[in-house]
Structure 1
């Protein structure tokens, strides 16, 4: 279960992305949540982690969280769709 559930708190995909960005920006996605890592198990069910240069489907899913990470796995941006 996520620490914060932006899906029920926001009104749209921009709200979803903004709320999650504040939770995960600058952190790596891992198995536990601590000062430098955010637990993958706490992300919404509908999510994908995209590294620089990764291909992604273009289907739009407003409930899906897209975590954009750099080459070392640090979250740089979050979008929804």
Structure 2
């Protein structure tokens, strides 16, 4: 297993890659299964962004931004 040092491998020391692995290609729902991730298990600081949705431009390094497509499938995960 590779050594991971926060702030060196990632610019903000976040665990974005871990969240990407958990969420990419899944839908958000009430429980877990092969194609769904439970919303309740997202970090406290998060927001789900749909296509063409408006969002504030404030930068919060601890906030997980989950981008979904028209069908509700996760397409991108980032912090900020």
Give the number of the structure with larger relative contact order, counting CA–CA contacts within 8 Å between residues 6 or more apart. Answer: 1
Paired residues of 1:14 and 1:80 also in contact (CA < 8 A)? no
Q: CA RMSD in A?
A: 1.8
Equivalent residue number for residue 43 of structure 1: 42
Whichever structure has more helix as a proportion of its residues is 1
TM-score, normalization by structure 2:
0.83
Which runs of at least 4 in structure 1 moved beyond 4 Å after TM superposition?
Answer: none
1:50-74 CA distances to partner (integer Å, 9 max, x unpaired)? 0011111011101000000000100
Q: Does 1:11 align with 2:6?
A: yes
Structure 2 residue 37 is the aligned partner of structure 1 residue 62: no
Contact persistence 1:17–1:78 (CA under 8 A)? yes
SS in 2 for 1:18: helix
Q: Which has the larger radius of gyration?
A: 2
What is the TM-score with the length of structure 1 in the denominator? Answer: 0.82
